[in-house]
Amino acid sequence: MTSGPPEQRCYRHPEREAYISCQRCERPICPQCMNDASVGFQCPECVKEGAKSVRAPRTMAGGRLSADTGRVTLGLIAVNVVVFLLQLATGDSDGVVFREGAMLGGTAATLDGDVLTGVADGGYWRLVTAAFLHAGVLHLAFNMIALYLFGPFVERALGAARFLVAYLAMAVVSSVFVYVLTPPFTPTVGASGAVFGLIAFALVLLVKARQDVSQLLVLLAINVALSFRDGVSWQGHLGGFVAGFVLAASVAYVPRERRQAAQVGVLALLAVASVVAVVLRTAALTG
């Protein structure tokens, strides 16, 4: 059997006969290379080229839209649970994980006879680690339930990467407020500062979308009232809420084409303000 002319051979598989041409580039293709198109068939290269011209869906913040929304939230919950188990395994509030991770401001802070490195003495890691420690099972449970309720909503609006950055930023700003406004030898822990930031974020987005926020306001009012109970850090809650509100405004009330620049600018502003506040507070504590 003689082979057909070159133009009747698949351009990707010269050994195979081609009975049809790509609708886009008009090159002959074999059945294996045929991809359904709106009209006729297209070759794999043309399909790839066409996909490049299709604008990928984006979140309202400009991030990539994930089909698995909520995975970062679940990851944060898992990290909090694992850290809590490590905390329990090492002696809970008397153990090294809690004592070296809790928010503590004072220089060469003395806590129950142990000398610990506070933020003023260079323990800057506490600004982050404190948000992943908790003062008991109920404390952890309440914060994780709130994170599960509000996290996926904000994550859907921001995208996975932006959500993680925003969460950590709210956690750090919360710790900075604690550092500045709380007595230096008061250990403070919990994800509630970041959770308050998520509540603020959700509130701004819902107001922007003209949704009914009455129930959310009632929930916020209850949590604000609880923030002034003994043993609860209203300072951390306030810091997280302020950070969440400002970050949400940069997403909801800035034109789409300027949102990325606005978000970077707000994050930079929060970072600079946090550094200045930490430096000034440290100077005040160390004299």
Q: Which residues are catalytic?
A: 192, 237
- The DSSP symbol for 5 reads P
Residue 233 has which token pair?
Answer: 């850090």
Beta bridge partners of 36: 41
Helix (H, G, I), strand (E, B) or coil at 269: helix
CA distances to 41, 53, 57 from 38, rounded to whole Å, are 8, 16, 21
Backbone angles phi and psi of 28, in degrees to 5: -70, 140
Report the C-alpha gap between 28 and 250 in whole angstroms.
51
Instruction: Indicate if the alpha-carbon torsion angle 210, 213, 214, 217 is positive or negative.
Output: negative
* CB atoms near residue 240 (< 10 Å): 33
Residues with Cβ < 8 Å from 259, sequence gap 6 or more?
Answer: 60, 61, 62, 250, 251
Residue 225 has which token pair?
Answer: 């009232």
Residues with Cβ < 8 Å from 225, sequence gap 6 or more?
Answer: none
Q: What is the crossing angle of helices 71-89 and 160-181, to 10°?
A: 40
